[in-house]
Each structure stands twice: as C-alpha cells, then as structure tokens.
Amino acid sequence: MIKIGFLMKAVVYRKYGGPEVLEFTELPKPQPKENEILVKIIATTVTTADLRMRKADPFMVKFLMGFPNPKKQVLGTEFSGIVEAVGSGVTRFKVNDRVYGPVGFKPGTYLEYRCFSQDSPLSLIPENVSFEEAAAIPFGGMSSLYFLKKGNVGKGTRLLIYGASGCLGTAAIQLAVNMGADVTAVCSGKNEELVKSLGAKAVIDYTKDSLKFYPGVFDVVYDTIGKSPFDESIKALKKGGIYLRAVHMSPGVIFRGIRAGLTSGRKVIGGTASELPEYIDHLSELAAGGKYKAVIDKIYPLSEIREAHKYVDSGHKRGNVVIKI
Ligand SMILES: NC(=O)c1ccc[n+]([C@@H]2O[C@H](COP(=O)([O-])OP(=O)(O)OC[C@H]3O[C@@H](n4cnc5c(N)ncnc54)[C@H](OP(=O)(O)O)[C@@H]3O)[C@@H](O)[C@H]2O)c1
C-alpha cells in the first residue's frame, strides 16, 4: 500500500481527445536508482508534441503511447527543476543543481518529481536563465538545431523560415542568426516585430504575400509547421537548395519530395529530430552568453493545464507556453 507522504501531484490522460481528457491525480513519488537523479520539477511546457500525443494525431502516435487508450499516461516533453537526490553511482550532478532537458521518446513531466539517468541529454541551467525560460529551450531549440544542421545552414545562407513565430520558428531564427545566416521569416503581421527582434532581416506576411513572388531566392526553406505550399517552396529555392520539413510527411509529400529531387535539383529533407547531448550543451552555451532566449507567450499554473492545452490547440501561440508545477 502507498503511504500518503510518498505521493506526488500529477496530470494524466486515460483516453485520447481534447484538453478535457487531462485529469488531476496522485502518483507514487519515484526513487532514484544507482545511475539516476531525482528531479523536483519546477516548470514544463505545452508543446505541439503534447497535443499530438493527447489527440493521437497522427494515428501512429498510438504505437508510442498505447492501444486503444494511452498506456503511458503522463504528457510533457521538456522540463526544468532542481536535483533533490542522486543515486550512489551519480557523478555528473549533485543535490540542488538546477537542471533542464528534453525527455525524448519517454514523455512525462506533468508531475512533481521524475528520475532521469545521469546519461540523459540534461544540462545545468545557466545562472542568467530562469526555470521558466530553461523549460522552454529543449523542444524548439534542439529540433531546430537538428534541422538547420541538416540544411547545412551557415555563414551567408539565405534562409526562409516558415512558421517563424512558433516554438521551432522562434528558436530557428536565433540559431540561424548565430550561424551567420540571412533570415527571412514567414509569419502574420502581428508577429513581425517579434521575429525582427530575434534577428530576422526580412518578413513575409503569409496573410497578404505569397512565396510565388520569390522564385530562386533562398538556399534553404525551413518549414517548422507543415503549412508551406510545397511547389512554391521548391520554386523559392535556388538550384541545389534544400527544403526542410519538420512536420510528419505523408506518403504523398514523400513522393513529391523524391520527384522534386530527381527533376528540379532541389532536395527535400524531413524526419525526426535527434536530441543529442551536444545540442543541449550548445543551447546552454548560447543562453549563458545571452545569444539565445526562449520566447515565452504565456505561463500557466499546473491547475490550469486544460486551459493551457486549449490555448496551444489554437495553433497561434507565439514561441512557448510554460506550465509552473
Ligand atoms: N520532426 C521532428 O522531429 C519535430 C520535432 C518537433 C516538432 N515537430 C513538429 O513541428 C510542428 C510545429 O511545432 P511548433 O511547436 O513550432 O508550432 P507552434 O508553436 O504551435 O506554431 C504556432 C505558430 O505558427 C504560426 N502559424 C500558424 N499558421 C501559419 C501559417 N499558415 N503560416 C505561417 N505561420 C503560421 C502562428 O502564427 P499566427 O498566429 O500569426 O498564425 C503561431 O505563432 C508540430 O507539428 C510538431 O509536431 C517535429
């Protein structure tokens, strides 16, 4: 039987659906094994990955989370917190360290405590970064770092970022500017000031303008939200250019990508971003040097997790939505 003192607050979901499937409960507080640290979670976020897992969209999410209802019942893909205890074999971290990181294919940060292997891609939070900011760094930062590297973005690259005001987009602008790229951001007029403040040199307002007016202009087009028109994006590239797509590609899009590669001399790259330890270290270094800051749209307490999910469901958040545990 579980003793009351060893329970922690958590949010679970027992069926796929809208924000209303999120329920408050109590779960046993975990204990760290030899190679693990126990983290008291201070902040987490609501990412588009949480929405996909909550809704089982696309359907193959069920292979990760469970059939016919979720077996893994806690959402949350990134976190920040304080190390509360360490296993006997832990050398990398100590009690009271401020840490943050992604959780990869093991979601579950909508709770008060979680154990992590000391070998996970975790990093110490730089002194100048708050818990709220740190929690919002890994998902957007690591995903966009992965794709920008795939696109060989570097000094002088003419880069178009589609969905520039979102989580991956706001991360991508800052990373690309640090890499020396010349960034054009696609967003709506209301986010023009934001993307320029992050370093975008030019802005295309998707509500008024179209990529068809920019033929052969860019070395790389990076679509962070899966809404860029395929043919116009290919045509907006110079010969030899690369079209990066962070969003799940349907068989039809994969086919068009292969055809574009064979007939137009432009390459289409998609897939799933890796969360490599060197990525989080790189982001920490940039954040410590004031060269990277997670954009935070809203902060909700855990008690308002359903409202937070509803807001992110709108598809119009700016940067990140943070949850304080
Ligand atoms: N492949 C991978 O490994 C990987 C990793 C991470 C994420 N992802 C995927 O990446 C996707 C994007 O994630 P995200 O978190 O960055 O999204 P997000 O933050 O929810 O994006 C919201 C932003 O998109 C903008 N937007 C909406 N419609 C637009 C349009 N037609 N044109 C341009 N901008 C538009 C909105 O601006 P307005 O309000 O102005 O419309 C808003 O600021 C998700 O589908 C996720 O599954 C993939």
Give the nearest ligand 1 atom to 139 CA: 6
Q: Determine which residue's CA is closest to atom 18 belonging to ligand 1.
A: 166
Which among 225, 243, 311, 316 is the best mutation to test ligand 1's pocket, defined by most ligand atoms within 8 Å of the CB?
225
The pTM for the full model equals: 0.95
Whole-angstrom distance, CA of residue 201 vs CA of residue 58: 35
Q: Which atom of ligand 1 is nearest to the CA of 318?
A: 43
4, pLDDT greater than 60? no
Q: 33-47 burial by CB neighbour count: b if 16+ within 10 A, else e?
A: eebbbbbebbbbbbb
90 lines ligand 1 (CB under 6 A): no
As annotated, the residues of the chain forming the CATH 3.40.50.720 domain(s) are 140-269
pLDDT tops 70 at residue 171: yes
So what's the architecture of 4-137+294-324 in CATH? Alpha-Beta Complex (3.90)
Band (pLDDT 50/70/90 cuts) for residue 5 is low
| Average pLDDT score over residue span 3-10 | 79
At 2 the pLDDT is 43
- The confidence band for 248, taking pLDDT boundaries of 50, 70 and 90, is confident
The pLDDT of 126-135, averaged and rounded, is: 98
Indicate the burial class of 124 (C-beta count within 10 angstroms; 0-12, 13-18, 19 or more). Answer: middle
Where are the domain boundaries for CATH 3.90.180.10 in the chain? 4-137+294-324
Q: Is 228 in the pocket of ligand 1 (CB under 6 A)?
A: no
Query: In angstroms, what is the span from residue 169 Cα to ligand 1's centroid?
Result: 7
Residue 57 has pLDDT above 70, yes or no: yes
In the CATH scheme, what architecture does the domain 140-269 have? 3-Layer(aba) Sandwich (3.40)
Mean pLDDT estimate for the chain: 95
